[in-house]
Amino acid sequence: MASTTRIQVLKRFLLLPLACKALTAIGLIALGLQAHAADYTGPLFDAHLHYNEEAWDGKTGPHPPADVLARMKASGVRAIVANSRPNTGSLTLAELPQTRKAGVTVVPFVRLYRNRADYSGWFADESIYTMVQAELARGTAAGPYRGIGEFHLYDSANADGPVAKKLMVLAEERDLVVLAHVDDAAIDLLMANTPSQGRKLRLIWAHTGIGGASVERVDALMGRYPGLVGELSYRPGLVCDDNQLCPAWRALLLKYPARFVVGSDTWVNQRWQHYEGLMQGYRQWLGGLPADVARRIAWDNGAALFGVPAPRR
């Protein structure tokens, strides 16, 4: 229902006699027309952002830095996990003075992909491991890289590929956060390949089981791995009517309020075109949560992962 129509209904309601008001109120609640919780209005931490070469290749593109920074600013996004194919996009955002001017903190990640061909073979490609080490040694203008990814595993068995194994060891040893678009079986495999058997690795699970992991399965993995964090873009079944959380997901987020984050996943330019709307969508369902939980999922959890200070207004 459009908000102007809602206002008209409320105006008419206020003009009714008292007895009538009681009956009408029951009717309005039954129709789902009761007042909605206000949207979340605090800062957002975009924990899954890409600045790929189709958006801007350093010279031209539909989304130059001024465009993407304006979108973040308009959306109240005050920190981003930045990764890009190739890594030059993240490096640009990390070094531009305009990024700081827009009030955005960049948390840079090493992307494992130099090009599209790397998506399907990175887990067994030694040259990817060499590239990651070179990037880590070089660092960025915004400080050292803080993580690796996003990477994909279309077949979870490839989590046992030789380079995937080495990267999980490297991540845990260097305290790098992993951003992984994988299924639930791969979460177990990746965690098993760390020196601590998954007790220490911090892993942001992109889309938190987009491939069909049930809420119960996500719950079990959250219980097993203390460093597992769920990122909620593209998660099927997350929101129901009126863009509010579905009951099972609401219960899971309330059970683990320190373990979920939100992200834009600007993997194609279309996501940049709708960036402000995506963030507004998060604000709507965050507003339906208790205020402290909303703030944690929107900002605090991402900030705590990387030690990003709270933004000054």
Interface residues with Zn ion (CB under 5 A)?
150, 265, 267
Please identify, using beta-carbon distances, which residue of 83 and 105 lies nearer to Zn ion.
83
* 8-state DSSP, 172: H
SS3 66: helix
User: How many helical (H) and strand (E) elements, i.e. helices and strands, does the chain have?
Assistant: 14, 8
- Smallest distance, Å, CB 137 to Zn ion? 25
d(CA 200, CA 202): 6
Look-up of token digits 């940049």: 272
Please identify, using beta-carbon distances, which residue of 205 and 225 lies nearer to Zn ion.
205
H-run or E-run covering 165:
helix 162-174
Please identify, using beta-carbon distances, which residue of 51 and 267 lies nearer to Zn ion.
267
- Smallest distance, Å, CB 163 to Zn ion? 20
SS3 239: strand
Q: Which residues, listed in sequence order, are joined to residue 110 by a DSSP beta bridge?
A: 148
Q: Residue 217 has which token pair?
A: 């399965």
Of the CA atoms within 13 Å of residue 34, those in its CB half-sphere come to 7
Please identify, using beta-carbon distances, which residue of 72 and 294 lies nearer to Zn ion.
72
- Smallest distance, Å, CB 86 to Zn ion? 15
Residue nearest to Zn ion (CB): 265
Please identify, using beta-carbon distances, which residue of 250 and 272 lies nearer to Zn ion.
272
d(CA 192, CA 188): 6
- Smallest distance, Å, CB 267 to Zn ion? 5
- Smallest distance, Å, CB 278 to Zn ion? 13
Cα-flanking dihedrals φ and ψ of residue 205, to 5°? Answer: -90, 100
Please identify, using beta-carbon distances, which residue of 210 and 246 lies nearer to Zn ion.
210
CA nearest 263: which of 83, 98, 94?
A: 83
- Smallest distance, Å, CB 87 to Zn ion? 15
- Smallest distance, Å, CB 9 to Zn ion? 41
- Smallest distance, Å, CB 79 to Zn ion? 17
Please identify, using beta-carbon distances, which residue of 113 and 250 lies nearer to Zn ion.
113
Please identify, using beta-carbon distances, which residue of 50 and 295 lies nearer to Zn ion.
50
The pairs formed by 97-103 with CB atoms below 8 angstroms and a separation of 24 or more are 98/65, 98/66, 98/69, 99/65, 99/69, 99/142, 102/69, 102/70, 102/72, 102/73, 103/73, 103/78, 103/311
* 8-state DSSP, 123: G
For CA atoms 135, 138, 141, 142, give the dihedral sign: positive
